[in-house]
Amino acid sequence: SIHAAVTDGVTIGHPCCAVHNCHEPLPTIAARYCSTHDHLNHICAVRGCTAPIQPGGRTCNTPDHIQLQEMHEAKGKAMFNLARRLADYSQ
């Protein structure tokens, strides 16, 4: 038998708090942290960095951290994927 499933194309699995071993439910599907760890939304996303984030981003103003965020965002874009695939193909 065949079963159909409808998804939003974004969420796979069970959304959970970004803190390791935290089992508290998220307040919304789009949330990154649970209510207990929500204060971490204002801290740089780079592990080991405790600096506050810059407005509109998830990292502090350290150039290396900004570059990491830009690379993370670029990985979701079509041209980045195309360039990576072409580089893999040409080798």
Each residue of 62-84: pLDDT tens digit?
999 999 998 888 776 766 667 77
* Whether pLDDT at 45 is above 80: yes
* Prediction pTM value: 0.61
Distance, in Å, from the CA atom of 85 to the CA atom of 81, rounded to the nearest integer, reads: 6
Q: Where are the domains of the chain?
A: 43-90
Distance, in Å, from the CA atom of 86 to the CA atom of 82, rounded to the nearest integer, reads: 6
Residue 61, CA distances (Å) to 5, 18, 40, 41, 55 in order? 42, 22, 16, 15, 10
Largest CA distance in the chain: 54
Q: Indicate the burial class of 66 (C-beta count within 10 angstroms; 0-12, 13-18, 19 or more).
A: middle
- Looking at the DSSP bridge assignments, the partners of residue 61 are none
